[in-house]
Amino acid sequence: MSSELFFETGWMLQSGRISRLMSHQILKKKVFCNSFSYYCVKEYEYLKILQQRLQDRLKIITILVDDSFQSMRDLMKNNNYPWTFLHFSNQPQVIDDYDIQTYPSYFLIGPEGKLVLSPAPSPAENFEATFNKLQIE
């Protein structure tokens, strides 16, 4: 079984590494979520604010674990979120690779592809202050 996740514009997650990202200097925040959880949907609004504030320093990538790819497309179409969404394509090994126990789950990935924060705080748990502190150190 392949360990690839696909996004409709060609983004790909292979063995835990995002391909075709914009810059090697930008940190990535991976979010494992779904489109039907109250907490996930609520966090999307915080993520939208983070995307606006930190777009030059942080690339947000949400990995949806919904059963259907169509639910992800509907979510994106109805909400116009300004960051990358991937669908896990029924490949549970990705969930195991990151040891996901709850949704949403957050991880901060450094420019070299290594975990910086595992787990990372959510936007509601003051992720931005933690992120800014890491940028200073």
Q: Map out the domains of the chain as residue ranges.
A: 4-136
The letter for the amino acid at 92 is: P
pLDDT score of 129? 92
Helix or strand (DSSP H, E) at 28:
strand 27-33
Helix (H/G/I), strand (E/B), else coil: 76: helix
Two tokens at 3? 């360990």
pTM: 0.77
Q: What is the pLDDT of residue 5?
A: 36
- From first to last of the 137 residues of the chain, give the pLDDT tens digit: 233 333 333 333 334 444 333 334 567 777 888 888 888 888 898 999 998 998 888 889 888 888 888 888 888 889 888 888 888 886 778 888 888 888 899 988 888 878 888 889 999 898 999 988 887 66
Q: Is 95 helix (H, G, I), strand (E, B) or coil?
A: helix
* Fold classification of 4-136 (topology level): Glutaredoxin (3.40.30)
Distance CA 105, CA 125 (A): 12
Residue 90: predicted pLDDT: 66
